[in-house]
Structure 1
Amino acid sequence: MEDRRILRAEEKTEDLESDIALIAQEFREGFQAVDQIDRPAVTVFGSARVGEDTPVYRDARLAGQRFAELGWAVVTGGGPGVMEAANRGAKDGGGLSVGFNIQLPYEQAPNPYLDISLTFKHFYARKTMFVKAAEGFVVFPGGFGTVDELFEALTLIQTGKVFHFPVILYGTDYFGELLGWIKGELLDDGMISPDDLELLHVTDDLDEVVSLVLDCYERRCAESPAAPVKADAQ
């Protein structure tokens, strides 16, 4: 894969000029795709591996529908599972459905419920668009990719790289041990500050998911700077 070659330590800048140009073009195309979103948007994350008959799929679809019915766009990674469910719900609700997909050797192909679709080669360009498009993140159960997206968002907010916006975990049972580790290890060991816990919300209530995102948007909390960059940010 292209990234394997680019990320090899022995590859020198002069050997990567064409790659640098392609990466810049990918960012440009991503920004242009975000420009097509003509309404506030929420980004939904979650596993590509959940089936249509699962409660997680059902709830992600309902979440997408509720946001769409309120005039919001729904942005996902554009693939199957939770991503498909949220995009499908957006279509159910008559809203705008957006998918930022990624080229992988397995697992991920664009789902059929997309109004705006763009496939990326590089994760870093793709993840930038998730943040740029969003007024909030809703995180459903998922694997490494979902957790990566979650912690990148928290780090960007914590360090003041982006304005504050809500990050909501859906599923207290699923995320309970993760939250326990954050509180019992990171907080107790002084790796994060008590106010960093306020960056996260966890719920099993879809109404609360929607209200948290809409309330922040209506109060324009995303236009207020996040906490100042802190010495303990990393």
Structure 2
Amino acid sequence: MTTREKINASLSPRGSLETLSQREVQQLKETGSGSVYGLFRQCALAILNTGSDSDNAKTILETYPDFDIHIHQQDRGIRLELVNAPGDAFVDGEMIASTREMLFSALRDIVFTQSELEHKRVDFDSSQGITDYVFHLLRNARTLRPGVEPKMVVCWGGHSINREEYKYTKRVGHELGLRGLDICTGCGPGAMKGPMKGATISHAKQRIVGGRYLGLTEPGIIAAEAPNPIVNELVILPDIEKRLEAFVRVGHGIIIFPGGAGTAEELLYFLGILMHPDNKSLPFPLILTGPESSAPYFQQLHEFVGATLGYEAQQKYKIIIDDPSMVAREMGQGINEVTRFRREHNDAFHFNWLLKIDEHFQHPFDPTHENMASLKLTRQQPVHELAAHLRRAFSGIVAGNVKDQGIRLIEEHGPYEIRGDQEIMQPLDQLLQAFVAQHRMKLPGDTAYEPCYRVIA
């Protein structure tokens, strides 16, 4: 990364935390100056660094070692003091509005939520307790809108897709927006930005005021993939598992664009949930799509799902190639089915309570070398549990590729070892090799990819 201008600034809340009691301000100040400070500083720096070409959290932190951020108490609430902040976050000395909003969203989700947890009991030992916690975080962020008809489309895909694939995500987003649908993504670049960008134009064409561009992330991801400036609602969940649960609880349909290990992780997570017997009759549209040039990618992914999870898992999604309008029509029809189902079963439109999520998908996975080598990648288990273990394998690869802690573990101990049955390891190895050959592991322009894993049968 090149050297950039650095700016000192003082900011008051906008978008979040505008009205606080003096006691709440003091709690924020105390929490933000303790062990949580490093996490908040890292996320704040990533938000201020929006537009950078780097997806390496370690590089970003090392580029701005003198960046600092402080929480101050004042009669009207709180004030943030920034020291040596990236100059790209400012225009003529004023912080860009979207950046300012997201900065206080980070403060709300990381510092305020931690403060709340210290004074409330959260049951992390039960599936329902974890779901309740996700609900609490989303409600605190004002994400849940009771009474609004289902229209939130979750879009997953890679942050380092090529130009043709990126343009295709914009075309799909445009078609979704023309039909009045809102967009939720992981809030980063690439396939997370394109659908939002396309929808902003079509929302304007349809004179839709208040279109939603919801970004859901977590601390390890946001430091590697800064939020794109189109996001008008940012929520930072504590870990990847709660982030993924938030996607499927607030979304009414999911579209998957081309991507790499992170996209495969998301697909396996959702397929594992859909394969649970309790979700057999629950409608939830899932579409895999991309331009004609991406057809081989989806064929490889489709074959991998068939080889590991079986034919039934393949029936849980549709693959549509190079037809954005068909994608939008199919998604609209699928969401109509979701709406009818929730009316019939008295389920909320804004939070999918009836969706069964097994605890295998909810507890945080720490991608240490020991945990990665201990994954249960065998057919001697229910298929939805196999999906959970495969999801963890890809989660570890993502950590080794872009997350600060994962990168440091690889530097210290070498590549992860992923072990399992030959009939699972072989298609896994073939899929990962295809990702590397197609440059789906790193941003274009990086040096040759050095795998952070070894697949061992």
Task: Flag whether TM exceeds 0.5 (same fold).
Answer: yes
1:137 pairs with 2:254: yes
Q: CA deviation at 1:231?
A: 5.5
Q: 2:300 corresponds to which residue?
A: 177
User: Could you tell me how far apart the structure 2 residues matched to 1:82 and 1:96 are?
Assistant: 17
Q: 1:148 matched to which residue of 2?
A: 265
Q: Does 1:46 align with 2:157?
A: yes
With 59-68 and 70-79 compared, the bigger mean Cα shift is at: 59-68
Superposition pairs of residues 58-73 of structure 1, within 5 angstroms: 58-73=167-182
For 1:131 and 1:93, the matched residues in 2 are separated by 25
Is 1:102 paired with 2:218? yes
> Are the counterparts in 2 of residues 80 and 111 from structure 1 also a CA contact under 8 Å?
yes
The whole-number CA distance in structure 1 between the counterparts of 2:198 and 2:213 is 9
Structure 2 SS opposite 1:93: helix
The alignment partner of 1:132 has SS state of helix
Amino acid at match of 1:212: E
Measure, in 2, the Cα distance between the counterparts of 1:103 and 1:144.
18
Alignment CA distance shift 1:168-1:154 (3 Å) = same
Q: Which structure's relative contact order is higher, taking Cα pairs within 8 Å and 6+ residues apart? A: 1
> Are 2:313 and 1:196 aligned?
yes
User: Which secondary structure does the structure 2 equivalent of 1:217 belong to?
Assistant: helix
- Which structure 1 segments of 5+ residues have no match? 3-16
Whichever residue aligns with residue 158 of structure 1, its letter is M
Give the AA of the match of 2:216. Answer: F
CA deviations over 1:49-74 (Å, ceiling 9, x no partner): 236xx011111112122212211110
User: In the alignment, is residue 210 of structure 1 matched against residue 319 of structure 2?
Assistant: no
**Distance change >3 Å, CA 143–CA 133, structure 1 → 2:** same
Structure 2 CA distance for partners of 1:75 and 1:161, relative to 1, 3 Å:
farther
The one-letter amino acid paired with 1:74 is I
2-side partners of 1:141 and 1:197: how far apart? 17
Structure 2 residue 163 is the aligned partner of structure 1 residue 81: no
Query: TM-score, structure 2 length as denominator?
Result: 0.41
Distance 1:207 1:158 in 2: 28
The residue number in structure 1 matching 2:138 is: 30
Which residue type is aligned with residue 170 of structure 1? Answer: T
Q: Describe the superposition over 1:98-119 as per-residue Cα deviations: whole angstroms up to 9, x where unpaired.
A: 1112223743111100121112
- Residues 87/43 of structure 1: CA separation in 2 closer, same or farther (3 Å cut): same
Amino acid at match of 2:331: V
Secondary structure of the 1:165 match is: coil
Q: How does 1:8-19 map to 2 (within 5 A)?
A: none
Residue of structure 2 equivalent to 1:10: none
Q: How far 1:206 sits from its partner (Å)?
A: 1.4
Does the 8 Å contact 2:176/2:328 carry over to 1? yes
SS of equivalent to 2:315: helix
> Whole-Å Cα distance in 2 between the matches of residues 129 and 136 of structure 1?
13
Which AA in structure 2 matches 1:64? G
Q: Which runs of 5+ in 2 are unaligned?
A: 1-34, 37-116, 125-129, 204-210, 343-353, 359-380, 386-457
> What is the alpha-carbon root mean square deviation over aligned residues?
3.3
For residues 304 and 256 of structure 2, the distance between their equivalents in structure 1, rounded to whole angstroms, comes to 18
Judged with a 3 Å threshold, the aligned counterparts in structure 2 of structure 1 residues 169 and 35 are, in CA distance, closer, same or farther, namely: same
Between the aligned partners of 1:160 and 1:30, the Cα distance in structure 2 is: 27
Hey, what's the Cα distance between the residues in 1 that align with 2:226 and 2:122?
Answer: 25
**2-structure distance, mates of 1:221, 1:233:** 26
Q: Which letter maps to 1:213? A: M
